[in-house]
Amino acid sequence: MAVDKQQNRLKILVFATEACAYPGADHVGQIHAEYLTDAYIIRVLAPVVFPEDFYLRCFERGVDAIIVMSCGHECPYQGAYERMTERISRVHALMKERGLEPERLRMCAICTVCSKAFLKEVNTMNEQLAHLATRKVGRAGELRDDEQETNNG
């Protein structure tokens, strides 16, 4: 599942909670469902442990999108889902300040056997990125090479 930047392959990070979303992602594999190979699933105890700047650094380092898949209100850590929701809102505001589209960061609840929901979220993000690409916006809100040539030339 190597990413070849020369072919403009996308990088979607999926932070999947160990208690719910990761087993849901694993279920997708168990049923042999297919999805694009540009999603990198990372098992996390609780995504609330990552500060706002972590997400911004991910985008700065070439990640195209991030999906935070949690347990939702069923989270075993009291108040974690609510704090994560607030954090995502703050990150969206910071993304706007930096010229990044907030659509590149999504949060959703995925249960342990929610294979259809997992697939829907990954496919929706791929579609969203394709839509953003048609607007000729780069990873960090910069003009892409083909657009810079048009503006310089």
Read off the pLDDT of residues 1-56 as tens digits, 9 standing for 90 and up. Answer: 333 444 567 899 999 988 888 888 888 888 888 887 789 999 998 888 899 999 99
Asked if 68 and 47 touch (Cβ cutoff 8 Å), the reply is: yes
Query: Quick one: pLDDT band at residue 148, thresholds 50, 70, 90?
Result: very low
DSSP output for 49-116: GS-HHHHHHHHHTT--EEEEEE-GGG-SSTTHHHHHHHHHHHHHHHHHHTT--GGGEEEEE--TT-HH
pLDDT given at position 150: 43
Enter the pTM of the model: 0.80
How many domains in the chain? 1
- Which structure tokens are listed for 62? 């070439």
CA dist 54 to 10, 50, 58, 78, 128, Å? Answer: 19, 6, 6, 22, 22
Question: What type of residue is 106?
Answer: R
* Whether residue 149 has pLDDT greater than 70: no
* Whether residue 59 has pLDDT greater than 90: yes
pLDDT given at position 30: 83
Q: Range of 141's domain?
A: 5-152
Question: Residues of the chain with pLDDT > 70: what percent?
Answer: 83
CATH number at residue 100: 3.40.50
Residue that the structure tokens 């697939």 belong to:
119
CA dist 135 to 21, 75, 88, Å? Answer: 31, 37, 24
- Which structure tokens are listed for 67? 């999906």
Which phi and psi angles does 75 have, rounded to 5°?
-55, 135
Question: Residues of the chain with pLDDT > 90: what percent?
Answer: 42
Average pLDDT over residues 104-115: 88
* Whether residue 135 has pLDDT greater than 90: no
pLDDT given at position 136: 57
